[in-house]
Every structure is written in C-alpha cells, then in structure tokens.
Amino acid sequence: MLADLSGPLLAQTITTGILWGLMYALIALGLTVIFGVMEICNFAHGDFLMTSMFVAYVCSLPLLGLNALQSLPINIVFMFLMGIIIYRILIKPVINAPPLAQIFSTFGLLVFLRGLAQFIFTADYHSLEKLAVAGRVELLGAFLPKPQVAAALGAMIMFAAVYFFIMKTKTGWALLAVAENKQAAALMGIDSNKMFALAWGVGAACVSVAGALLANFYYVFPEVGAIFGFLSFVTVALGGFGSIQGAFWAGLIIGMTESLAGTLIAPSFKYLVVFVIFLLVVLIRPRGLMGHAS
C-alpha cells in the first residue's frame, strides 16, 4: 500500500532525495571524467571510493586526529597520485588492447584493492574517530543531517570546479581535444599519454572528495564500494557516458527515485524502482539522457 505523502513527510522525502542524489552524482563524477577522455570503464571505481574513505578514517585516528574536511588535502593528493600510478602501471599497457583486456585489468584492480583493505582493516565496520560536522538542521519542516548537507554542498562545489577546469582552462581544453580525436590532438602537440594520466588522476581526486564526505556519516568497510560503485555506473549510464551535466542530473533522478520509492512503497523496493527506470531509459535512449550519438 502506498504511503500518504503530504506535509512534513513530503518535504523530508524530497530533501533526502536531493541530498543523496547529489552524493551519487559526486561519486559518479570521477567515473565520468575517465570515461569521457578515454572511453574506458573503471570497474574498480567503487573501490577507489572505499580507499578514499579509509584514507579519511586513518587520518581521523589519534596519531593525526584530523576530521574528514581537515584531511581532505591529504586525501586528494593521495588519490590523485594513486590514479596516475595505476594508469602508468595497469591501464597504459592495455590502451590499445581489446576491450575485454581493459575490463579484466580494472576488475583485477577491484579485487586487489578490496582484498588489501580486508587484509589491513579486516571486514569490520569502522567509523571516523573525529567528525567534521554533526547534528541536524530544520528546513521547511524537514530535519536534515548536517553531514549530508555538507556533502551536498561539497558535491555542488566539486561539480562547478571540474566544469570550470575542463571548459575554461587550457589543460581542460587539451583533455577535451584528446577525448574528441587523439590523432588530431597529437598534431597540435598534445601528449595523449599525459592527458590520459591526468584524467585518471583527476577522476581519482574527484572520488576522494566523495569518499571523505561520505565517511563523515557512513560506515567505512571493505565492501562499501560495491553498492556505491554499482550505483555510480547506473548514474553515468543514465546521464550519458562522458557527460558531466548528465551525471549531475542522473544522480538527482536516482536520489529522488530512491527516496520516493522508499517512502511510498517500501525501503526494500527503492533499488528495484531505480533499476526499472534505468532499464526503461536505456531501452528508449541507449546513449543516456544527455549522451551524444556515436
């Protein structure tokens, strides 16, 4: 039976959907950047998120005693360098290989990162020793957790920063040129290998922000990347692979769909409804809501 959605419950449902939607969009941003430049799906993307959450967790331990926001510079630098190193060691050798080799490479990375996290931190659930923000705020009759509000604000700032970087800077234009035509970019003196490495670094840095903000209100454990990684693929496919604007709006759609389905029907149905809508969009418009035709 459908719930009665009115008054404060409606406000709570909508605002919760927006907050989670912005979080999903931010998680998917890094995946969008990498695919947009290289057309390679990073199946370890969810475990990049998990790694950044553990970086935030380690920084919160008594030795450093930093909250998620204070440790953000460390997190961004660590993940940026990790992205570049992974490209150099794992991705560069299979750039011109069949797509199946690229899939196996990133899937193997997924298994490695998850296994390493389980070995170091065990399969237990962890939470940050020191929180950046806590409590809740009331808005239009809805009570919003401050950590999720901070994450939503961080998501909007990050989207604006990445959009500005890609669309308004020379380095961003070089990334776009390589994404459009690698051979033509080479004729203009653009080193595609450097741009590919940069794309992996930027993509990993984007997910580092998502991981740090998520760790402030969500448990940290080795399997945390599974569901969020899967949802990031749904977000990117729904919005259109390689489309930053598409990832933003698709994240909001998924967040709102989850929230409405969880309230109107039952929480156990929320992912089912999301995937039904996703399948319908893929059947009707395979390139996604804002993707470009091949």
Average pLDDT rounded to a whole number, residues 186-206 = 91
- 169 burial (CB, 10 Å; 0-12 / 13-18 / 19+) is exposed
Task: Return the CA Rg of the chain.
Answer: 19
Note the pTM of the prediction, 2 decimals.
0.91
- Give CB contacts under 8 A, 24+ apart, made by 192-196: 193/92, 195/37, 196/37, 196/38, 196/87, 196/91, 196/92, 196/95
pLDDT (tens digit per residue) in 102-127: 889 999 999 999 999 999 999 999 99
Q: At what angle do helices 45-60 and 8-38 cross, to 10 degrees?
A: 110
Report whether pLDDT(135) > 90: no
Average pLDDT rounded to a whole number, residues 39-64 = 93
| Topology at the third CATH level for domain 8-284 | ABC transporter involved in vitamin B12 uptake, BtuC (1.10.3470)
| Structural domain boundaries in the chain | 8-284
Report whether pLDDT(25) > 90: yes
Q: Under a CB-based contact definition with an 8 Å cutoff, are residues 290 and 240 in contact?
A: yes
Across the chain, what does the average pLDDT equal?
88
pLDDT (tens digit per residue) in 173-187: 999 898 888 888 888
pLDDT of res. 188: 86
pLDDT of res. 117: 95
pLDDT (tens digit per residue) in 251-278: 999 999 998 888 888 777 888 888 888 8
pLDDT (tens digit per residue) in 235-244: 998 888 888 8
pLDDT of res. 293: 53
CA separation for the pair 53, 211 (Å, rounded)? 5
